[in-house]
Homo-oligomer: A and B are copies of this chain.
Amino acid sequence: MNTRILFVKRPVGWVDESCFAIEQGPEPVAGPQDVLVQALYLSTDPYLRGRMNDGPSYAPGFTLGQPVVSRVVGRVIASNNTGFAVGDYVWGFLDWAERVVAPRGEGLHKIDPSLGPVSLAISALGMPGLTAWVGMMELGKPAPGDTVFISSAAGTVGQLAGQFAKRAGARVVGSAGADHKVAYVLEKCGFDAAFNYKEHDTGEALRELCPRGVDVYFDNVGGTTLEAALGHANVGARFPVCGMISAYNLTEDRGIRNLQMLLSKRITMTGFIVGDHVHKLPAYQARVAPWFARGETVFAEDIVPGIERAPATLIGMFNGEAIGKRLVQVAEDSGR
């Protein structure tokens, strides 16, 4: 039997387990040109909350009664497609299921296991890693001696963006929502300073921890954190905008009230979406994979085993439990 995780109820406000159902169904069978994938890791991501809503969003909403879909790493266990062989590691946006058919292999991307653990293909060595790279290095452009501030610093993107900035010679300051996350970026990722934004006012923390001002603010949250960063920015600062998660749950945006700082401080704010930069992924992987292999750059994976725990694992991620990339492990595999 094949276990699947279905989305069965649209949440109002906070998500709970009643939104999901665990279903035992028949084993899927690959038809002509199809590829059958054994899931290894399911990705849990903040944007999935938006897909649970019915309203307009930048991604289509989940269908009630159908499986949850997210990035999944797996291994080909049967293939009727010349593009994929049994044993290939792949990732794609796939149903949350132990085994799933990819019709005609469409949407599957091969993973080179020589680059590192295959799970990293959907985090540090995949699009989230490229997000950190493009945002920090191409838009933030940290120079030696610059002060860089990163919100959601212990998140998948934040911890990588901070380490890339450190390699570029910058002083890196992060904010996170829990003391163990603050400790993680300080002790493991080499951040120069960090604070728990739930216990300290962000403006006061920046005044104390960024005495020479902020040259780069890597924005993952928007809202009052962005306002504080605008207030402490230096002339000529760069603000790559990767996310404004603080606005996602609000019916009415309260507004950014000191945007005129852009003018007096000659700040450049740039929104970006990694999908525009996907052609850079091979070069990114080739550049950074050795850093991870040598342990110069670290990345936290928070791997929870058991597909039946996927709903609780996703909900915990929404509640800010995870450090780095939270994955549900569906099966053991020698590729890791």
Seen from chain A, the residues whose Cβ lies within 8 Å of a Cβ on chain B are 58, 222, 226, 241-244, 247, 252-273, 276
Contacts and interface: CB of A to CB of B under 8 A. Distances in A.
B244 A263 contact: yes
Contacts of A267: 270-271
User: How many of these chains are in the complex?
Assistant: 2
Contact of A257 (B254, B266, B271, B273): B254
A127 to B, nearest CB: 15
Contacts of A241: 262-263
A269 B266 contact: no
Nearest to A247: B260
Contact of A256 (B242, B259, B264, B273): B259
A186 B268 CA distance: 31
A243 B255 CA distance: 18
A244 B260 contact: yes
B244 A259 contact: yes
A263 B261 CA distance: 19
7 contacts: A247-B260, A253-B258, A254-B257, A255-B257, A264-B271, A266-B270, A266-B276
Q: Is the interface of A mostly helix, strand, loop or mixed?
A: loop
A178 to B, nearest CB: 25
Contacts of A242: 263
Contact of A271 (B244, B247, B266, B271): B266
A47 B241 CA distance: 30
Contacts of A259: 222, 226, 244, 253, 255-256, 259
Nearest to A139: B268
Contacts of A257: 252-255
A235 to B, nearest CB: 8
Nearest to A263: B271
Contacts of A226: 259
Given A242-B263, A265-B271, 5 more contacts: A226-B259, A241-B263, A253-B259, A253-B260, A256-B259
Contacts of A268: 268-271
Q: Which of A243, A260, A269 has the most CB of B within 10 A?
A: A260
A244 B256 CA distance: 13
Contacts of A258: 253
Nearest to A269: B269
Nearest to A238: B270
Contacts of A272: 263, 266
Nearest to A275: B266
Contacts of A261: 271
A253 B258 CA distance: 7
A250 to B, nearest CB: 10
Nearest to A57: B264
Which 6 A-B residue pairs are closest in the complex by CB-CB distance? A255-B255, A262-B271, A263-B271, A255-B257, A253-B257, A268-B270
A266 B269 CA distance: 10
Contact of A269 (B244, B253, B262): B262
A280 to B, nearest CB: 15
A186 to B, nearest CB: 28
Nearest to A255: B255
